[in-house]
Amino acid sequence: MIVLKTRRELDLMREAGRISAAALKVAGEAVAPGVSTAEIDRAAYEYIKSQGATPAFLHYNGFPATACISVNDEVIHGIPDKKHILREGDIVSIDLGAVYNGFYGDNAATFACGTISPEARRLCDTTREALYVGLSKAVAGNRLGDIGYAICEYCVSRGYGVVRDYTGHGVGTHLHEDPSVPNYGKAGKGARLLPGMTIAIEPMINEGVEEVKVLRNDWTVVTADGKLSAHFEHTVAITEGECIILTQC
């Protein structure tokens, strides 16, 4: 069931989103050669707690950390580890959220660790741009398929694989609510977007094939061909006009 949010609820979600976005900024600023993914996770945890909020991902379905930190061919759900030391040229996808007064924010971005290759930069730029292409379709009266179609066409036309096994989602008093928000689809199809809907749009784009696999830890998703992957995400509110980005720092 899709839950439409009241103005008061949207205000609470805006604060949860602000904290989530600021925590992502803190985590991104910690990305550097020689830093462990566990150190980045700790920085995000401390910031979220300092704001009177709770990390949304910590212990969620058993996940052991504040942030999913996925490096290079890891698509999503990378587990931070003090032994995982970042190296020059890595690309680092960080996905995290915060709970504030019972409402969730959720956002992600892919960061460069030092100087990255032109191919990695192009993938990251395309994935970020694809997020905003999707956001431009997140308007009341459009349908979910309009978002997914726009994202997929943008990325496929540039030679990339669009992950289909994982999608965006509704956000509210739960981290994952209805509806699912795929990064592919048919224009004009799917649930109609209505004012008050709050959704996370999150393209996960691969340098090579769209197929992915899950590692033996039952969390980390990697590309099937070992090539790079990038991930960007915003939580947004649907309005009568342009969507409002709730995870804006």
Dump pLDDT digits (tens) for 92-138.
999 999 999 999 999 999 999 999 999 999 999 999 999 999 999 99
Exposure class string for 60-83: b at 16+ Cβ within 10 A, else e: eeebebbbbbbbbbbbbbbbbeee
Sequence-ordered strand ranges (E) for 101-167 = 103-112, 161-162
> Which pLDDT does position 7 carry in this prediction?
95
Round to whole Å and give the CA distance between 234 and 199: 8
Round to whole Å and give the CA distance between 111 and 232: 10
Round to whole Å and give the CA distance between 96 and 23: 8
Asked if 200 and 138 touch (Cβ cutoff 8 Å), the reply is no
> Which pLDDT does position 127 carry in this prediction?
98
Round to whole Å and give the CA distance between 10 and 149: 27
Place of tokens 């890891």: 74
Render 162-203 in DSSP notation, one character per residue: EP-SS-EEE-SSSSSEEEEE-S---TT-SSBP-TT-EEEE--
Mean pLDDT of the chain: 98
> Which pLDDT does position 81 carry in this prediction?
98
For the chain, give the percent of residues with pLDDT over 90: 99
44-70 mean pLDDT: 98
Structure-token pair, residue 151: 């994202």
For residue 122, give the nearest of 183, 202, 207 by alpha carbon.
207
pLDDT over threshold 90, residue 78: yes
> Which pLDDT does position 97 carry in this prediction?
98
Give me the helix-helix angle, 144-156 and 118-136, nearest 10°.
160
pLDDT over threshold 90, residue 249: no
Task: Give residue-wise pLDDT tens across range 192-211.
Answer: 999 999 999 999 999 999 99
Domains identified in the chain and CATH numbers: 7-245 (3.90.230.10)
